[in-house]
Amino acid sequence: MPEIRKLRIQARRIVRDAVQCLKSKPAEINGIRPRAHYLGTGFQLTPSGKFLLPFERASVAEDCSHCDGTGRRGSAASFETDSRLGERFKLPICPFCAGIGSREIYEDESFVDELESAAEKLGCAVHQESSAPFDFFLVELRS
């Protein structure tokens, strides 16, 4: 499985290349200045290559191998009492999936978050069309 750091570097590279494409396009095409660049589909871009929906997690995404899909680390023997919660117990969040319960979903979310962050730093935004929610575009922002 790819490391999160490598995924973030890949996301920044994709955004940087798309910004260069936007800058290299002609100033106007038939009187219209291009302000968006197609990045690709989520099937091409995201590490899992899947279209993961929250309600389909159990059937599509694999459970985290470290916490068996619970998002928490430890067993009943390692429960800690929290005096503010009375008899409730807390387990530490699984560091491998960040408490999501699936490493695939964590990698996909981290990748898309980094795409959005890198685009914002360069004065752009990552946009997904409502008619095609799995197509990603880099959109140039202007004030």
Listed ranges 2-11, 16-25, 30-39; the one with the highest mean pLDDT: 2-11
Provide mean pLDDT across the span 82-105: 72
pLDDT at 92 over 80: yes
Give the domain ranges of the chain. 1-61+113-143, 63-101
pLDDT at 78 over 50: no
Non-local (6+) Cβ contacts of 88 within 8 A are 82
pLDDT value of residue 113: 92
- C-alpha span between 59 and 23 (Å, rounded): 42
Better-scored residue on pLDDT, 23 or 110: 110
pLDDT at 69 over 80: yes
Residue 14 C-alpha from the chain's centroid: 14
Asked if 54 and 100 count as a contact pair (C-beta separation under 8 A), the reply is no
pTM check: above 0.75: no
Among 46-55, 76-85, 99-108, 116-125, the minimum mean pLDDT is found in: 76-85
